[in-house]
Amino acid sequence: MRASTSTALLSLVLLAACSQAPVQPSAAAAPVPPHPLVKIETNYGDITVQLDGARAPLSVKDFLTYVGEHYYDGSSFYRVVPGFVIQGGDYTSDLKYHQPRHPSIPNESGNGLSNVRGTIAMARDDDPHSANATFYINLVDNRKLDPRPDRWGYAVFGQVVSGMDVADKIATVPTGKVTLDNPEHDSFNDVPTQPVTIIKVTLLPDGNP
């Protein structure tokens, strides 16, 4: 059914407002640390990120929940795209899927943080509110991933403060296409031919590197 012009315009205005306005946590939610530091230990070196709990409280709380549960330990950066991103969190280096334990979270891409080099952000499916445990690190400025008035973006929730050279080193690993031996025969592009293992991810005490 074709919507009326006024209805269509109202929908566009609401979409624009939603995509630009930060999502606020529930008043009953536990407080989120404003700027916690997290260390991502890999077989290529360590990457330390400072999370922005003030501007991306839902994403930071979600990420820290998985960190506290050791969900990321033994996972990998399984998608490596030079000049774009390295992505990881929910697959091991041999592409064994690690089922997320918690519901997806609302999209916080309207928080004012941009997908520039060195930022960490939530990966998701086409559904804008499908972000869960998967994250990526921007290797270059990827402002095309930011929200626009007519669509949602990808929510940034922190910044690499040390170890960006490690991310750049990971970006040089040769990659290829892999088809899984499962009933769906899922295919993955940009898979490292040498494992890029996330050994463990830890919250640093008192914000000290």
Q: What type of residue sits at position 22?
A: P
Q: In this model, does residue 93 exceed pLDDT 70?
A: yes
Distance of CA 181 to the CA centre of its chain: 26
Joined together, the tokens standing for residue 195 give 């494992």
Half-sphere exposure for 167 (CA within 13 Å, toward CB) = 27
pLDDT range class, residue 197, cuts 50, 70, 90: very high
pLDDT for position 72: 97
Q: For the chain, which residues make up each domain, given as ranges?
A: 5-23+33-207
Which range, of 8-17, 67-76, 147-156, averages the lowest pLDDT?
8-17
Task: Tell me the per-residue pLDDT of 2-54, one tens digit each, with 9 for 90 and over.
Answer: 343 333 333 333 333 344 444 444 444 568 899 999 999 999 999 999 999 99
Q: Report the relative pairing of strands 37-42 and 45-51 from DSSP bridges.
A: antiparallel
Stretch 188-198: mean pLDDT, rounded? 93
User: Quick one: which H or E segment has residue 63?
Assistant: helix 57-68
- Residue 138 CA to residue 183 CA, distance in Å, equals 32
Tell me the pLDDT tens digit for each residue of 101-147: 999 999 999 999 999 999 999 999 999 999 999 999 999 999 999 99
User: Which DSSP letter does residue 55 get?
Assistant: T
Separation between Cα atoms, residue 58 and residue 25, nearest integer Å: 6
Token code pair at residue 117: 């080099």
Structure tokens at 184: 């769906």
Concatenated DSSP letters of 111-167: SS----TTEEEE---SSTT---S-EEEESS--GGGS-BTTB----EEEEEEE-HHHH
Consecutive H or E run containing 188: strand 187-192
How confident is the model over 184-196, as a mean pLDDT?
A: 88
Q: How large is the greatest C-alpha to C-alpha distance in the chain, in angstroms?
A: 57
In this predicted structure, the answer to whether residue 170 has a pLDDT above a threshold of 50 is: yes
d(CA 91, CA 170): 16
Length of the chain: 209
Give the CATH class of 5-23+33-207.
mainly beta
Which one, of 36, 35, 39, 61, lies nearest residue 48 by Cα?
39
